[in-house]
A and B are shown apart, each in its own frame.
Chain A
Amino acid sequence: MKLKKHTKISFLNYGIVILFFIVVQILASGGMLTNSLRGQLIPILSYVIMALALNLVVGISGELSLGHAGFMSVGAFSGVVVSMSLAGSIPDPTLRLFCAILVGALFAGIAGVLIGIPVLRLNGDYLAIVTLAFGEIIKNVLNCLYVGVDGSGLHMSFKDTASLGLAADGKVLINGPMGATGVTKISTFMGGTILLIIVLVIIQNLVNSRTGLAIMAIRDNRIAAEASGVPVTRHKMIAFVTSAAIAGAAGALYALNYSTIAPKKFDFNTSILILVFVVLGGIGNMTGSIIAAALLTILPELLRKFADYRMLIYAIVLILVMIAGNNPRIRSFLDGIGKKAKKEGAGNE
């Protein structure tokens, strides 16, 4: 059977993820995985998922979001609360991780709806401005949020731990600027890989369907899309809310890999870091996002000595990519390579 181009790309992406999983498993069983690298596995998966989610907004929908770390933190903290408060009733960690990710996605999705309803009706760069503010606001709200749990249920306060009014058996889950402390690490590499595969299925199938076509049509030409009977706001919402929910799931996976997680982890720099993954991997290119996010998360770990210069290198690489991408000669050179590869591919069929 002759496969369509985008079907091939989808399978390539599944292949990359499965290959990565197998390689890690082989390395782990051979004892070749250092401890620091082992600790990076789940962050890598989380950032890859974040990059895919942001690419859905930036690449497919053509809007700019500068606050995706905000959605990640909503997912992270709601996931932590779910996981810790269900520790008694659901002893199985895998099932609890599943619940935490689901609830994290749900809450981040709701945040996405709340932001999307007013902003996505407008045309222009408003989404970038509002998401930038959202990221900062959510960080500050979480900085003064206290959540505890005891026999009678969840307690919440914006003052301090004392005002939670916990019973003697109570436990503080989120402790203001300290964040969530004493979290049971239940994220597993296997669980993260499965989540990544599910996210890939959702994003790729969405993009390669009637809905995805409509989203891309709005990106390419809003007026023509409207004249062709495509409802604009609805499709922008679908892309944005899906992306926010996936970011929430990634946040839950990320947070449950650490025993302590503070709100300041999900600041503006994290949002930009994810945007860098998307830009470097190629806007709208899912394979690129996977590779860029994975490489740029591992690199500082491998080149620990140079970690101080990471931001500097990012800036330089970004500028170089921009120059290369906009230089007609380099472009035509790259297009030429693409065409040649296509010709050879066609010859083989």
Chain B
Amino acid sequence: MSKEQQDAILVTSHLGIDFGGLTAVDEFNISIAPDEIKGLIGPNGAGKTTIFNLLTKVYQPSRGRILLDGKDTRSMSPVQVNHAGIARTFQNIRLFDKLTVEENVRIGLHAHVKYGMFSGIFRLPAFWKEEKRAHERTLELLDIFGMADMAGVRADSLPYGAQRRLEIVRALATEPKLLLLDEPAAGMNPSETEELMKNIRKIRDEFKIAVMLIEHDMNLVMGICENIVVVNFGKIIAEGTPTEIQNNPQVIEAYLGGRKEEN
């Protein structure tokens, strides 16, 4: 293992998954540094979200392994992966619709609020102390995205952009070491996207965590990612800095379509 890999927060080697006869992801090898912002791009259907689902163990890999902070996640459940340090958002927003903004974030804090069921039922001192702390922490987290004043609003009545931001706040509440963002800017207008870019950088700098994001908005990807991985048909076709990726002929071919080979 190289020096770079030893320091990495996440290393995958030969990672792959098959659905029936279809190989969705194959030979996926990456390493993410503890404070890196990495982009994962590729055409539609390239397997980007599948990779996120593998990393968070929503899918069990068919091959290869994932080392999270040096620990193999082979036998972990999605919940354990979260406790071990990966949090994520979803491409098709998955909020707790009937709950308020504050409650959504509080669920992210679940593992970090320390009182048991009986303290909750009998309202023991631990309940009041931890509830107060959790409430303050929730408002702090919401404040990063300027959403503290929406704490009491039901999640499904938020505008689309705010729902995306709330998902990020909820993910941050779980105190991850690696944050996976699945199309965070989808449906946002240019000024919201601009704001989001600033916030992603702010999150990385303040929380000292790694961020990996899937995004189709190339301004965002090229603007904030230090490294970019390009996948097509489940395989990595290029990896490098934004400038390298922009000039890579294979990437251009994958996005724009290559010349047809003559038989």
Q: Give the B-binding residues of A (Cβ under 8 A).
A: 201-202, 205-206, 209-214, 216-217, 220-221, 223-232, 238
Least CB distance, A313 to chain B, in whole angstroms: 30
Q: A201-B121, A206-B121, A213-B107 are in contact. Are A226 and B95 (CB under 8 A)?
A: no
CB distance B97 to A220 under 8 Å? yes
The verdict on B237 contacting chain A, using a C-beta distance below 8 Å, is: no
Q: A220-B98, A224-B96 are in contact. Are A209 and B120 (CB under 8 A)?
A: yes
CB distance A211 to B96 under 8 Å? no
The verdict on B164 contacting chain A, using a C-beta distance below 8 Å, is: no
CB distance B96 to A232 under 8 Å? no
CB distance B98 to A229 under 8 Å? no
Please pick, from A206, A210, A220, the residue contacting B110 in the complex, using a CB distance under 8 A: A210
CB distance B120 to A210 under 8 Å? yes
Q: Which of B77-85, B191-199, B247-255 contacts A (4 or more CB under 8 A)?
A: B77-85
Q: How far is the CA of A239 from the CA of B169 in the complex (A)?
A: 27
CB distance B79 to A221 under 8 Å? no
Interface extent on B, as a size class? Answer: 35 or more
Least CB distance, B175 to chain A, in whole angstroms: 9
CB distance B87 to A227 under 8 Å? yes
New A-B contacts (4) at CB < 8 Å, excluding given A206-B117, A228-B173: A216-B96, A220-B96, A230-B107, A231-B79
Least CB distance, B131 to chain A, in whole angstroms: 8
The verdict on B106 contacting chain A, using a C-beta distance below 8 Å, is: yes
Q: How far is the CA of A162 from the CA of B15 in the complex (A)?
A: 69
CB distance A226 to B103 under 8 Å? no
CB distance B174 to A229 under 8 Å? yes
What B residues does A216 contact at CB under 8 A? 96, 98-99, 103
What B residues does A202 contact at CB under 8 A? 121
CB distance A213 to B79 under 8 Å? no
Sort A-B residue pairs by CB-CB distance and give the 3 closest, nearest first: A209-B120, A224-B94, A229-B82
CB distance A229 to B94 under 8 Å? no
Least CB distance, A1 to chain B, in whole angstroms: 14
Least CB distance, A45 to chain B, in whole angstroms: 21
The verdict on B170 contacting chain A, using a C-beta distance below 8 Å, is: yes
Q: How far is the CA of A211 from the CA of B130 in the complex (A)?
A: 13
CB distance A227 to B88 under 8 Å? yes
Please pick, from B96, B97, B122, the residue contacting A205 in the complex, using a CB distance under 8 A: B122
CB distance A226 to B79 under 8 Å? yes
CB distance B96 to A229 under 8 Å? no
Least CB distance, A37 to chain B, in whole angstroms: 34
What A residues does B83 contact at CB under 8 A? 229
| Contacts of B48-104 to chain A: CB distance below 8 A | 56, 58, 77-79, 82-83, 87-88, 90, 94-99, 103
CB distance B58 to A229 under 8 Å? no
| Contacts of B158-175 to chain A: CB distance below 8 A | 170-171, 173-174
| Contacts of B22-57 to chain A: CB distance below 8 A | 56
